[in-house]
């Protein structure tokens, strides 16, 4: 079937949700197309053992809120569903430090730090940002580490998108003067990343998308866009056709829409994959730099498992605190809610070494030295109650490229700098010190130990801002070079190493991009 819209937004994450609301506010007829499912609070998995509701693996008929993608140089965690990454992220909303605004392809396009200040303020308000009011076990140990290192002043509570009302008590919309949905006070159950069943997490379906619908926007879930074609076969001045098909049905129901404008907001793995697929045939004017300048925040994820069976680090918000160890580096404590122990089956003792054989030998030595400790970790203790993940990030820069390989499978290559590594000396040192304080054992994803492939939840870039098409894909207002009324507004637009959780920055840049679009006067 064919329907006409002023704007079609592909993806409902932080960029897509902002675009949907602001364009609807300006009087445009808006359609949001999202490949994931629409989850209400009651629908989320109770624990991450419920793989059908937690993981997105359509081949297995799993239609959950998190997708795991493995490349040669990275394992990437990303979000799916109406609300995108906001359903599965750990709520943190930091403003990046000054170097981010003055580096990368976008640095000469504007005075970004000052230009984005009012939009950060708006984004924080819309997302209901608040300081985490309460620390728990796991957080206290990081605070203890800060004292031990003599940098206690660098330890702080996180700014998070959570409603901290009366615990478990439903309240009328506390954010939008009654225009938004009712909310319930956070119970500190730790289950933010499996989907908040308590209605306390300020995910995008509770703010931007909710308000967009009230302004007339349509949200079409469980549909995946597979082509975008300019009506004039040239630069899209007369509009576009957008083709989609079911993402969850065995027999694919297809749709064809026409629209004056298109906003790509599917995140790096959605937007870049789609544009690389259709570039040659449908959108040949797109810059040849598409897929370049991919970044990962130079991060590591090292778990520390306590051996005390009576410990319980599952209480709190997903990330309740952060320690800034120097101007380029910080570490956060990350938790899952009680019962969410799925990651245990993919973890091995953390070891370092120049090749897999050395690492396996060291791992075997660890098992021999402390066999009962690992029996406790794998078979006796509750993983979520005894395990804290240390999320380490740096603003050190290196870039990757994503290209289409055989059968359309995406592959990564190193563009500049060193390839991403899970073996960062500063990260290893912090993990060892934290493990000593907690009397625990360091663990990591098996791909890190076996293949040296680091993990990230913050893949960015691939369609960066630049002066022209020879250096990037979009201009400073997020418009795609070579096409009219076509935008990219998601993590793929980020043009420098951000060094922190990017959700707030994506939201702020999206707010700025939308401010440049005139109101619909017709």
Q: In terms of DSSP bridges, do strands 440-445 and 347-349 run parallel, antiparallel, or are they unpaired?
A: antiparallel
CA-to-CA dists, residue 508 to 5, 84, 202, 387, 515, angstroms: 25, 16, 16, 33, 11
Q: Which two tokens stand for residue 405?
A: 């390989």
Residue 356, CA atoms < 13 Å, CB-side half-sphere: 8
Residues 6+ apart with CB under 8 A from 54: 45, 48, 62, 64, 65, 66, 194, 195, 342
Which burial class, exposed, middle or buried, applies to 111 when counting CB atoms under 10 A from its CB (0-12, 13-18, 19+)?
A: exposed
Looking at 62-157, list the stretches that DSSP marks H as alpha helix, in order from N- to C-terminal side.
98-101, 112-115, 117-126, 139-149
DSSP three-state, residue 503: helix
Q: In terms of DSSP bridges, do strands 159-161 and 129-131 run parallel, antiparallel, or are they unpaired?
A: antiparallel
9 and 265 Cβ atoms separated by less than 8 Å: yes
Candidate list 73, 330, 347, 458, residue with the active-site label? 458
**Nearest residue to 463 via CA among 471, 472, 454, 455:** 472
* Residue labelled with tokens 């808006």: 30
Q: Dihedral sign, CA of 265, 267, 268, 269?
A: negative
388 and 304 Cβ atoms separated by less than 8 Å: yes
Torsion of CA 84, 86, 87, 88, to 10 degrees: 100
Torsion of CA 234, 239, 241, 246, to 10 degrees: 130
141 and 306 Cβ atoms separated by less than 8 Å: no
Q: Distance (Å, rounded) from C-alpha 359 to C-alpha 431?
A: 17
List beta partners, residue 162: 201
User: In 10 A of CB 346, how many CB atoms?
Assistant: 13
Say how many Å lie between the first and final Cα of the chain, rounded: 25
Angle made by CA atoms 332, 337, 340, in degrees to the nearest 5 = 110
108 in catalytic set: no
User: In 10 A of CB 141, how many CB atoms?
Assistant: 21
Q: Active-site residue numbers? A: 458
């Amino acid at each position: 079937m064919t329907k006409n819209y002023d704007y079609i937004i592909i993806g409902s994450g932080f960029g897509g949700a902002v675009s949907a609301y602001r364009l609807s506010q300006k009087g445009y007829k808006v359609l949001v197309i999202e490949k994931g499912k629409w989850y209400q609070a009651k629908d989320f998995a109770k624990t991450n053992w419920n793989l059908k509701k937690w993981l997105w693996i359509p081949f297995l008929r799993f239609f959950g809120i998190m997708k795991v993608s493995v490349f040669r140089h990275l394992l990437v965690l990303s979000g799916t569903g109406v609300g995108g990454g906001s359903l599965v992220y750990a709520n943190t909303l930091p403003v990046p430090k000054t170097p981010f605004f003055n580096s990368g392809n976008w640095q000469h396009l504007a005075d970004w730090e000052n230009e984005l200040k009012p939009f950060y303020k708006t984004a924080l308000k819309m997302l209901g940002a608040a300081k985490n009011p309460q620390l728990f076990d796991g957080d206290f140990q990081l605070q203890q580490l800060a004292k031990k290192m003599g940098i206690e002043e660098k330890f702080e509570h996180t700014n998070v998108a959570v409603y901290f009302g009366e615990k478990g008590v439903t309240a009328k919309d506390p954010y939008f003067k009654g225009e938004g949905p009712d909310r319930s006070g956070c119970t500190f159950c730790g289950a933010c990343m499996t989907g908040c069943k308590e209605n306390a997490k300020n995910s995008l379906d509770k703010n931007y998308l909710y308000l967009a619908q009230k302004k007339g926007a349509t949200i079409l879930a469980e549909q995946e866009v597979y082509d975008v074609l300019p009506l004039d076969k040239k630069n899209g001045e007369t509009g576009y056709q957008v083709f989609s098909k079911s993402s969850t049905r065995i027999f694919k129901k297809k749709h064809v829409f026409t629209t004056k404008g298109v906003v790509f907001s599917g995140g790096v793995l959605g937007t870049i994959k789609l544009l690389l697929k259709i570039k040659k045939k449908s959108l040949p004017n797109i810059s040849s730099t598409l897929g370049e300048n991919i970044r990962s925040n130079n991060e590591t994820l090292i778990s520390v498992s306590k051996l005390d069976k009576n410990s319980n680090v599952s209480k709190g918000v997903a990330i309740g605190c952060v320690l800034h160890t120097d101007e380029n580096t910080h570490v956060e404590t990350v938790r899952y809610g009680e019962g969410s122990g799925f990651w245990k089956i993919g973890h091995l003792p953390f070891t370092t070494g120049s090749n897999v054989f050395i690492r396996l030998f060291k791992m075997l030595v660890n098992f021999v030295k402390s066999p009962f400790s690992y029996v406790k970790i794998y078979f006796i203790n509750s993983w979520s109650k005894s395990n804290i993940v240390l999320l380490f990030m740096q603003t050190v820069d290196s870039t990757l490229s994503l290209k289409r390989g055989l059968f359309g499978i995406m592959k990564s290559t190193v563009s500049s700098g060193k390839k991403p590594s899970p073996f960062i000396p500063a990260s290893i040192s912090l993990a060892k010190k934290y493990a000593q304080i907690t009397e625990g054992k360091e663990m990591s994803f098996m791909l890190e130990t076996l293949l040296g492939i680091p993990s990230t939840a913050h893949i960015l870039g691939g369609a960066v801002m630049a002066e022209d098409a020879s250096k990037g894909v979009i201009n400073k207002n997020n418009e795609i070079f070579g096409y009219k009324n076509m935008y990219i507004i998601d993590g793929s637009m980020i043009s420098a190493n951000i060094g922190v959780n990017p959700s707030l920055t994506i939201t702020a840049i999206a707010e700025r991009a939308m401010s440049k679009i005139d109101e619909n006067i017709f």
